[in-house]
Every structure is written in C-alpha cells, then in structure tokens.
Amino acid sequence: MKLHRPAVSVYTVPTDAPEADGTLSWDSTTVVIAEVSAGEATGTGWTYGPAAVGGFLQEQLAPLVEGHSALDVPAAHDAMCRAVRNVGRPGVAACAISALDLALWDLKARLLELPLTRLLGACRDRIPVYGSGGFTTYHDTHLAAQLNGWVHGQRIPRVKIKIGGSWGREVSRDLTRVRAARQVIGPKTELYVDANGAYNRKQAVRIGQALAEHGVGWFEEPVSSDDLTGLRLVRDALLCDVTAGEYGYDLPYFARMITAGAVDCLQVDVTRCGGVTEFLRAAALAQSHGLEVSTHCAPHAHAAAAATIPNLRHAEWFHDHVRIESMFFDGVLDPAGGTVSPVNGIGHGLTLRTEDVAEYRVA
C-alpha cells in the first residue's frame, strides 16, 4: 500500500477577541492541514503555524513521502527528518513534519479500520483536561465568564490563565487577576498560570511565592524556556510545579530540558515536536526520568496519542484551538466533567468540514 502525494491547505481564522500572553499578542491563528491518501483511505493531520509551513510541506515533504509504505510510518518520518538537515528542523520544518506525521498515523488507522488509540494501544479510557486561556488582553468580566464556563458550566476542575503581562512589567495586575480568578473558580479548582517566559529569575521566585497564597500549583515558563538554569533555580525555590516544553521541536530539546532538572512536568506539543512518532518518544524519555507529560494546545491532535502513554498528567483544553478545531472538524470531543475520551470512530475520529471553512482558506 503506497502513499499518494499529500495535499496541503492553509486557513487563517480571526480570534474571537484580541489575545495576548506575557510576551506575544495575536488577532488570528493559522492552521496548516495535511491530507494523505493510500488505497481508498485518507488521513488528516494539522499544525498551527505560518502559511510558510504549508509551502514547505508541499514543496519539500510531499514529494518525499510519495510512494512510501502507508503502514510504515516511522520510515516516512525518518525520511522527513533526514531531509530537513540543511534547513534546520526547529520551527517551520518540524511543524510541517508534525502535521504530516499525524496524517500518516490517522491514515494507517483508517486503512486498518481501527481507532488510532487502538492502533497505538490504549493505556487509559479517559484523558483529564484543563481549561486554558485567560489571556492578558481579557477584561475582568471576560476572564470571569471564561473561567465560569469551564468550571461551573463544563465542570472542568482545572484551569490556567496567562500572567506576565507586558514582559513582566505588570506584576500588580498579574496578581490581581490571579486573585480574581481564584474567587471565580472557588477553593477546590486547580489553578495554573503561564508567564510565557516574561519574568526574570528572582522576579519569578518572588511572584511564585505570592502565587502560593492563591493556591497556584502550576507555574509554566516563569522564565524563558531557553534559560534552563533559571527554570531549575525557580523550580528549586518554589513548592509549585515549574513546567515548560512547548517549544520542543525535536527529541534532543526534551533531553536537554529534562537533564537540566528544569521542569516538574514536561509539556509536549504533537503539532511541533515531530508528530505522534516523536511525541511517544518524548513521553518515554520523560518517563525514564520520573516525569509526567502534559500535552500543549491542539487538544484534538493529541487525544489519541495522549491516551496511550502511562505518564500522562493532562491535556490542555486551549480556548483558541478548541474553537478552531470545533469549527473545522466533525467528531470533536466533549470535556464535560473534566475528561475526554478519544475513541470515537476510526483514525483520530475527526472529519474535516472542508466546505464549511472555505471562507478562511488562504492557500
């Protein structure tokens, strides 16, 4: 069973409100979708990144995997990873590899008429999720409404908000927002924060100590993810979990982060790290060091793979991507009660609504 040449489409969707974290702001999100066929089946994968990811996929990766065996996904994955040597893997190339790798796994499961979780081998029936958003651009009532929707509407017992506004220059506002969030969600809901690398080392320690008063148990990227020594320093100084890993585009990145003792829980993004193939390897690497994995963004791209790893902590139910994936796919998951079940049909269970989203297509 040989692979046909993959097809690529790119869509840009405006956000439903201005969005920002501590170190970046945006008003639209671009999703790059890869579709690959063999026999009568088609697999679909995607990533979030610039349209250039789609161009790279079309020009460099699509001809490369054409003719490969549809059943031997690691072979196609390895061919892609070798081919990007001179370009450099992190960033555009890794996102393109990730989208196509996810499509290849989905295709294989569809060819064998299996749910992707069954093909990989499930370790759990349900995946805990946490509501994620709380952008620094939200005014108080918007933040409260979003948190209310997750905690009291969908009964998700874990939420995360962004802090570190304006590169860490709005600490008083950050703490006010955390206090407000705690009031909305009540004392029992787990509260997480993500600074997206906005603070410096000692600033992050001081803020982490203040966050403890509000029961914050997860401090994501308190300093830049590039500052592994700083992450370790903050981690050693605080009781809450320090987490990072979302910019991991290859296995050595995760190895460096883990061996530096930089995180209490490793975040891995299947749409960046190299797809399902590399996600499973990163999870195994984390497990070998006694660490759990939390999936980053793109919840429907992760669900099947997340169900197959023993050391999963939870999956991020990220507002922006939940919204887009609900617009783009039939078969999306329901997080009511705080978990999702990934087994809902063959492959990853999602079907692209091509005609419904045509207005957003840019390439």
Candidates 91, 63, 137; CA nearest to 248 is 91
Query: CB of 36: closest distance to Mg ion in angstroms?
Result: 29
Query: CB of 132: closest distance to Mg ion in angstroms?
Result: 8
DSSP-assigned letters across all residues of 194-214: E-TT-S-HHHHHHHHHHHHTT
Q: Which is nearer to Mg ion, 106 or 194 (CB)?
A: 194
Q: Which is nearer to Mg ion, 68 or 177 (CB)?
A: 177
Query: CB of 220: closest distance to Mg ion in angstroms?
Result: 5
Q: Which is nearer to Mg ion, 23 or 42 (CB)?
A: 23
- Report the DSSP pairing between strands 25-38 and 41-48: antiparallel
Q: Which is nearer to Mg ion, 267 or 308 (CB)?
A: 267
Footprint (CB under 5 A) of Mg ion, residues 117-156: none
CB-nearest residue to Mg ion: 194
Footprint (CB under 5 A) of Mg ion, residues 176-195: 194
Query: CB of 319: closest distance to Mg ion in angstroms?
Result: 13
Cα 345 versus chain centre, distance: 22
Which residues, other chains included, contact 213 with Cβ-Cβ below 8 Å and sequence gap of 6+? none
Q: Which is nearer to Mg ion, 194 or 278 (CB)?
A: 194
- Report the DSSP pairing between strands 292-295 and 312-318: parallel
Footprint (CB under 5 A) of Mg ion, residues 194-223: 194
Query: CB of 209: closest distance to Mg ion in angstroms?
Result: 21
Q: Which is nearer to Mg ion, 119 or 156 (CB)?
A: 156
Q: What are the angstrom distances between the C-alpha of 284 and each of 23, 82, 161, 277? A: 31, 22, 28, 11
Query: CB of 95: closest distance to Mg ion in angstroms?
Result: 16
Cβ density class 8-22: b for 16+ within 10 Å, e for less: bbbbebebeeebbbb
Query: CB of 244: closest distance to Mg ion in angstroms?
Result: 8
Query: CB of 123: closest distance to Mg ion in angstroms?
Result: 25
Angle formed at CA 95 by CA 283 and CA 256, multiple of 5 degrees: 45
Q: Which is nearer to Mg ion, 194 or 325 (CB)?
A: 194
Using CB under 5 A as the binding rule, whether residue 264 contacts Mg ion is answered as no
Q: Which is nearer to Mg ion, 185 or 297 (CB)?
A: 297
Using CB under 5 A as the binding rule, whether residue 101 contacts Mg ion is answered as no
Angle formed at CA 26 by CA 21 and CA 32, multiple of 5 degrees: 115
Cβ density class 179-189: b for 16+ within 10 Å, e for less: ebbbebbeeeb
Which residues, other chains included, contact 40 with Cβ-Cβ below 8 Å and sequence gap of 6+? none
Instruction: Compute how many residues bind Mg ion; rule: CB under 5 A.
Output: 1
Which residues, other chains included, contact 119 with Cβ-Cβ below 8 Å and sequence gap of 6+? 105, 108, 109, 112
Q: Report the interface residues with Mg ion, using CB under 5 A.
A: 194
